[in-house]
Structure 1
Amino acid sequence: MIYKNIVVIDDLGDVFEPLNDAFSDDLEIKIRHLTSDFDSLKKYLTRDTYIILINETGLKVDLDQLVDFIQRNLFFLAIPILIVSDNEEVIKRPPKLDSPVLNVALKPLVMSDFKPRLEYAIEVFEYNRNINDISGLPGNKIISSKLLSEISKNSKFALVFLDLDNFKEFDEYYGLYKGSQVMYFLANLIEESIKEYGSIEDFVGNVGGDDFIMILKDYKAADLICKDIIAKFDKQILDFYDEDDIKNGYIETMNRDGEIEKISFMGISVVIMNYMEFKGKMFDEVFRKMNEVKKIAKQVDGSVLLDAKNY
């Protein structure tokens, strides 16, 4: 089982023990005890850490040096750090951290108040770690949770797959920075179209790479949203190309055989499905159907919208 680890760096042990008791019945959250020994931290501080809690009281190393040591590891830059101490001066002036979430707490800790605080911090961190760094949209774990929630509620919704065409070649030709700009542009464009034609309950996520998914509550509105996305995308995507390439009408890249290929400008393949029409089918079967139609869409030169019910 994969645990949500709260790592307690506690040389005294007076924070770890009551915290461990408070979470003893929790099947998902595990309290791990480490000391401030740098060699031990280097070995046992792992990527499955959700919160790092430092007991400043009785700490055998300098607090600022300890925090600096932890944050030299890029994996831990985004992990919330919580400092507890019986020294009010430490609480008032905690060390400067790069971590996006910093909390401080004065001892003695009241577990009935402190435990919910940690549980909430874990929820926030778990959500944030499943956000795509480039598009800023929810990733696979949140997407799966949302889909299963809608299905379990027997909701009516439209499922939409969106996939960029010729993005890989664009990314290789212009570089990672410009490719990231396109991803961010498309994510914003999708959100804008949902705000204009959809509802507050609509959802968009980034499956990975240049693949996006929308879960939209109204099938008719979904059609408008998809058409709006395509129209705006086709109108604005040329802004990311150089003038010479726009004049040529293509970019030139080298394929795996070492041959020069002329690659058309990016388009977007969109597949829409009224989920109620496929109700009762296995989840894998629905996704297989969507992917089959998406392959057909990607054979079309330029942007296209296809409805899965027609294929």
Structure 2
Amino acid sequence: MIASSARILVADDEECVHRLLRRALPGEAYRVVSAATSQEALARALAEVPDLIVLDVHMPGQGGLEVLAELRRDCRTRLVPIILLTGDAAPEDRVRGLDGGADDYVSKPFHPSELAARIASALRRSRADVGANPLTRLPGSPTIEEEVNRRIDAREPFAFLYVDIDRFKAFNDVYGYAKGDAMIRDTAALLTEAVAAEAASAGFVGHVGGDDFVLLCRPSGAERLAQHAAGLFDEGLAAHYAAADLDRGFLECRDRQGSWHRSPLCALSIAGVTTERRRLDHYAKVVELASEMKAYVKSRPAGGSAFAFDRRRDR
């Protein structure tokens, strides 16, 4: 049994497949959404980012393997487990799918309980492999480090953006953990949206933990990405605060000593380092430089979201 409700996208033009899976997957553990065409499957996958996709290889319009390739190119769905369904038994078709990034292959006709077991197994593997944050389901610290090291080893130019929600503790103390979790989830969603818009296949979004995130992209698009993310966060603040707090522009809360003080509204601090100016040859160095820049950004007077990039050059 999966611990939290998992969103499963079933992309198949046969209605009987959708009916079978809805019966086989318990409603308290899964939420099944459907797509009948490849175009609908792509649109729903990119808009909703499910936890797992069951994808028919032979669908009207664009084929399932082409859809698979597009999903693997997009930063939003690159790590989503995908199980392919097909009526073909040819080994070469299975090899093509697995080589293209599929996590498993199931032949039609299938037994619903077997496919349900494969779905549960793929979800467990995926969450263990990426160290996914249970709240946002974004890749955690181990995968962030692995992705940075991959780019270093490949000598691939990249920008590393460290994202922190300023004054989140005060918000959490005043509004409670449920509201705090909602802000974290919404921040994860808007960061993913910004990366998809500005970085495309070169983008990556990770959740270090708490209110800290990491974005990766090409150096040329780093400032646009930071600006986009900051703008989305500031635009969405109204959904999280009471009207009176928004009008005042601050919260009244107690510090650890029990004294009342005013805490400005939350904002993003985004600190960036890129391979354009620094020789980033080790993950620890990347994190060290980004932490220095984060301290600089957070030292600014309270206000809206802001970002800064390391302009220093190696000697």
Give TM class, smaller chain: 0.5 to 0.7
Q: Which residue in 1 is equivalent to 2:245?
A: 245
Q: Which residue in 2 is equivalent to 1:170?
A: 171
The aligned length equals 212
Q: Which residue in 2 is equivalent to 1:15?
A: none
Residues 1:97 and 1:232: Cα distance change in structure 2 (over 3 Å) = closer
Residues 1:276 and 1:187: Cα distance change in structure 2 (over 3 Å) = same
Residues 1:252 and 1:222: Cα distance change in structure 2 (over 3 Å) = same
Does structure 1 residue 307 correspond to structure 2 residue 309?
Answer: yes
Work out the CA distance in 1 between the residues paired with 2:5 and 2:198. Answer: 38
| Matched position secondary structure for 2:311 | helix
Q: Which residue in 1 is equivalent to 2:205?
A: 204
Compare CA radii of gyration and give the structure with the larger one.
1
Does structure 1 residue 225 correspond to structure 2 residue 205?
Answer: no
Correspondence list, 1:1-311, <5 A: 124-129=123-128, 130-216=131-217, 218-279=218-279, 281-300=281-300, 301-302=302-303, 303-310=305-312
Q: Could you tell me whether the CA contact under 8 Å between 1:206 and 1:213 is conserved in 2?
A: yes
TM-score, normalisation: structure 1: 0.60
Work out the CA distance in 2 between the residues paired with 1:161 and 1:126. Answer: 27
| Matched position secondary structure for 1:277 | coil
Offset of 1:282 from its aligned partner?
Answer: 3.8
Residues 1:135 and 1:95: Cα distance change in structure 2 (over 3 Å) = closer
The CA RMSD measured in Å over matched residues stands at: 3.1
Work out the CA distance in 2 between the residues paired with 1:97 and 1:236. Answer: 31
Q: Could you tell me whether the CA contact under 8 Å between 1:160 and 1:270 is conserved in 2?
A: yes
Residues 1:156 and 1:119: Cα distance change in structure 2 (over 3 Å) = farther
Query: Tell me, which stretches of 5 or more residues in structure 1 are unaligned?
Result: 1-70, 79-92, 102-115
Describe the superposition over 1:121-164 as per-residue Cα deviations: whole angstroms up to 9, x where unpaired: 86652322422122221111221221121111111111111000
Offset of 1:307 from its aligned partner?
Answer: 0.6
Residues 1:120 and 1:150: Cα distance change in structure 2 (over 3 Å) = farther
Q: Could you tell me whether the CA contact under 8 Å between 2:205 and 2:216 is conserved in 1?
A: yes
Q: Could you tell me whether the CA contact under 8 Å between 1:127 and 1:142 is conserved in 2?
A: no
Q: Could you tell me whether the CA contact under 8 Å between 2:3 and 2:29 is conserved in 1?
A: no
Amino acid at match of 2:153: S
TM-score, normalisation: structure 2: 0.59
Residues 1:265 and 1:186: Cα distance change in structure 2 (over 3 Å) = same
Amino acid at match of 2:283: F
Q: Could you tell me whether the CA contact under 8 Å between 1:164 and 1:268 is conserved in 2?
A: yes
| Matched position secondary structure for 1:205 | strand
Q: Could you tell me whether the CA contact under 8 Å between 1:161 and 1:213 is conserved in 2?
A: yes
Query: Tell me, which stretches of 5 or more residues in structure 2 are unaligned?
Result: 7-22, 31-51, 53-103, 106-116
Describe the superposition over 1:198-255 as per-residue Cα deviations: whole angstroms up to 9, x where unpaired: 2123100001100000111x21212111101112211221321101212222111100
Identity within the alignment, %: 23
Residues 1:140 and 1:95: Cα distance change in structure 2 (over 3 Å) = closer
Amino acid at match of 2:126: Y
Residues 1:273 and 1:119: Cα distance change in structure 2 (over 3 Å) = farther
| Matched position secondary structure for 1:291 | helix
Offset of 1:283 from its aligned partner?
Answer: 2.8
